[in-house]
Amino acid sequence: MARFRRRWLVGLAVTFLAGCAAKDAYRPVGDQMVAPGAPGAAAKAAPPAALAGAPKPATEEGAAETDFPLLRKLIYHGKLDIETPNVEAALAKAQSLARQHRGYLTGLTQSGAAGAGQTATITFRVPSASFESALAALSGLAAGGGLLRSREVTAEDVSEEWVDLESRVRNKHREEDRLLELLGRSGDISHLLEVEKELARVRGEIEQAEGRLRFLAHQVSYSTIELTLTKPQVPVATAPVSWWLEVWHGARYTFVVVGKALVQVLAQVLALAPYFLLLGGVAWLFWRRRPST
C-alpha to C-alpha distance for 71 and 50, rounded to whole angstroms: 18
Query: Sorting pLDDT into bands at 50, 70 and 90, what band is 62?
Result: very low
User: Nearest CA to 221 among 128, 101, 103?
Assistant: 128
Query: Sorting pLDDT into bands at 50, 70 and 90, what band is 241?
Result: low
Query: Sorting pLDDT into bands at 50, 70 and 90, what band is 46?
Result: very low
Tell how far CA 92 is from the center of its chain.
Answer: 26
Is residue 9 over pLDDT 60? no
Query: Sorting pLDDT into bands at 50, 70 and 90, what band is 232?
Result: confident
Cβ neighbour number for residue 72 with a 10 Å cutoff: 18
Mean of all residue pLDDT scores within the chain? 75
Percent of the chain exceeding pLDDT 70 equals: 70
* Residues linked to residue 83 through DSSP beta bridges, in sequence order: 147, 230
Q: For residue 186, what pLDDT is reported?
A: 64
Is residue 277 over pLDDT 70? yes
Question: Which of 24-28, 148-152, 226-230, 231-235 has the least mean pLDDT?
Answer: 24-28
Query: Sorting pLDDT into bands at 50, 70 and 90, what band is 11?
Result: low
For residues 30-68, b (16+ Cβ closer than 10 Å) or e, as one string? eeeeebeebeeebeebebbeeeeeeeeeeeeeeeeeeee
Is residue 190 over pLDDT 50? yes
Average pLDDT over residues 193-217: 90
Instruction: State the sign of the Cα–Cα–Cα–Cα dihedral 132, 138, 143, 146.
Output: negative
Q: Is 251 helix (H, G, I), strand (E, B) or coil?
A: helix
pTM for the structure as a whole: 0.53
End-to-end CA distance of the chain: 119
Alpha-carbon separation of residue 33 from 43, 72, 162 (angstroms)? 10, 13, 11
